Structure 1
Amino acid sequence: MTDAPRVSRHQDADVLVGDVASALLDRIETAQARGDVPHVALTGGSIAESLHRELARRAPDSSVDWSRVEFWWGDERFVTADSPDRNALPARSEFLDVVGVDPAHVHEVPSSDQVATAEESAAAYAETLRARGVESFEVMILGLGPDGHCASLFPGHPGLAVSGVAVTAVHDSPKPPPDRVTLTFEALNRARSVWFIASGEGKAEAVARALADEGSVEETPARGVRGHETVWWLDEPAASALPALPALPA
């Protein structure tokens, strides 16, 4: 049973990033307090990089035990490990390495200098998920493209129809680089909480389509992702095409 998505609106990108960082640290602390080792899936993009820097800045004031968290990615570009296109590269340098996460608990998607094809990378990543016994993610963090894509699930692309596997290869991506590896809807939806993070007016139309009462996953793939809890973290420009909030009573 999943709840309806919840929208959390914030004045600007800086406030948005600060509030998401606080919420994520609290979420990890709570999971660890109940005895869990939380699995957290990260994303890429400029707003994610800002979030990673803010998490690193706030980490010393938190009680998170970084030896008891496992990190994953919802998708990755199939390029060399040292490519600036990799989502994992800035996440490591600006956050994971800074706070001292055990490298054995950082699960990167295999790169093109480790395996020959995106299909081999997808199979290896799926096997790592299986071997680590990941039944659900505590938090699945996702960005949103102006076209409504999330992870590397693009409008009208074959990956939208993949079922029965947790990870799939993507070719001919409409965004470079063309070859990618992504979690499927089945894996993305195995999350206690899905957090979409979107900033800027350029995302407003896609946000509105994703949250509209009607629409298709084929046109707006983000509509197909729903955790047990789903939160849309937005700054006001990204939320600008949503219906106006009701006025407070005088």
Structure 2
Amino acid sequence: MNYITFPTAQAAVEKIAQEFVLYSQLDRPVHISLSGGSTPKLLFKTLATPPFNTKVRWENLHFWWGDDRMVVPSDPESNYGEVQKLLFDHIRIPVENIHRIRGEENPDQELARFSAELTACVPNLEFDWIILGMGSDGHTASLFPHQTNFADENVALIAKHPESGQIRISKSAKLIEQAKRITYLVTGSAKAEILKQIKTTPAEQLPYPAARIRAKNGITEWYLDADAAKLL
């Protein structure tokens, strides 16, 4: 895996924003999966401002989420709601290019609907780019330590946060691993120790889904700021 360190979180998200421009120039639909969290908020704010808001050909990009909480879009916990507020409200993007998890719906029914949409819309279920974060416990998307079935053949699943009990829908590990490219975007000194473990310890010896989930036939990389990378 590639570990790429940037001096600041802002520098990391600007690099990602530049790559959004390049992806949008491909003459086909490009399927990108977004992450929740504080650092992605920086990314969405950056994309919503010049030059990126006009350079990106938004009509070519299709947006999905690695996971979302089963809450209404106006809830601050909604990953989709944050992107809507920080990015989509400020750009011109076809509504059919936004493939959200409908957190306001019944979880079982929404899981079935979302799984069908994934299967119908993403060619060969291979995402062009999946951007992931990592929690302080090593989880990614809503795939948590000690409760992730890495062999699950489903494209998505219902997950429960181990502490709060909050219900979410998440892409499965197997679906994520089919991506052409996976980028973990991790910032802050609170993640430094766990990143050191991930880099120095065989993945199968660790309980962290973020350590084990990698693109089977593509690129896996870590975009880190200096604080997160300080022990590497």
Q: Could you say whether these structures have the same fold, taking a TM-score greater than 0.5 normalized by the shorter chain as the test?
A: yes
Aligned with 2:71 (options 79, 98, 112): 79
Tell me the distance in 2 between the aligned counterparts of 1:207 and 1:24: 26
* Residue 103 of structure 1: how far off its partner (Å): 1.2
Partner of 1:160: 149
Tell me the distance in 1 between the aligned counterparts of 2:5 and 2:185: 10
TM-score after normalising by structure 2: 0.91
What are the within-5 Å matches in structure 2 for residues 1-250 of structure 1? 5-29=1-25, 32=26, 35-57=27-49, 58-62=51-55, 64-112=56-104, 115-116=105-106, 118-135=107-124, 136-157=126-147, 159-161=148-150, 163-171=152-160, 173-174=161-162, 176=164, 178-216=166-204, 219-227=207-215, 228-242=218-232
* Residue 177 of structure 1: how far off its partner (Å): 5.9
Tell me, what secondary structure is at the counterpart of 2:204? coil
Tell me, what secondary structure is at the counterpart of 1:208? helix
**Residues 10 and 235 of structure 1 are in contact (CA less than 8 Å); yes or no, is this contact kept in structure 2?**
yes
* Residue 240 of structure 1: how far off its partner (Å): 1.3
Partner of 1:245: none
Larger CA Rg, structure 1 vs 2: 1
Letter of the aligned partner of 1:98 in structure 2? Answer: H
Where do 5+ consecutive residues of structure 1 fail to align? 243-250
Tell me the distance in 1 between the aligned counterparts of 2:203 and 2:121: 36
**Residues 20 and 233 of structure 1 are in contact (CA less than 8 Å); yes or no, is this contact kept in structure 2?**
no
Residue deviations 1:78-126 (CA, integer Å, cap 9, x gap): 11232110000111121123121111110111223xx32x232222111
- Alpha-carbon distance change, 177 to 101 in structure 1, aligned in 2, over 3 angstroms: farther
Query: How many pairs were matched up?
Result: 228
Percent identical: 25
* Residue 162 of structure 1: how far off its partner (Å): 5.2
Tell me the distance in 2 between the aligned counterparts of 1:17 and 1:23: 10
Where do 5+ consecutive residues of structure 2 fail to align? none
**Residues 18 and 52 of structure 2 are in contact (CA less than 8 Å); yes or no, is this contact kept in structure 1?**
no
Q: Which range moves more in the overlay, 90-99 or 69-78?
A: 90-99
Tell me the distance in 1 between the aligned counterparts of 2:11 and 2:5: 10
Tell me the distance in 2 between the aligned counterparts of 1:72 and 1:145: 20
* Residue 175 of structure 1: how far off its partner (Å): 5.1
Tell me the distance in 2 between the aligned counterparts of 1:17 and 1:178: 28
Tell me, what secondary structure is at the counterpart of 2:152? coil
Letter of the aligned partner of 1:59 in structure 2? Answer: F
- Alpha-carbon distance change, 120 to 185 in structure 1, aligned in 2, over 3 angstroms: same
RMSD of aligned C-alpha atoms? 1.8
Tell me the distance in 2 between the aligned counterparts of 1:217 and 1:28: 39
TM-score after normalising by structure 1: 0.85
Tell me, what secondary structure is at the counterpart of 1:197? strand
Tell me the distance in 1 between the aligned counterparts of 2:79 and 2:188: 20
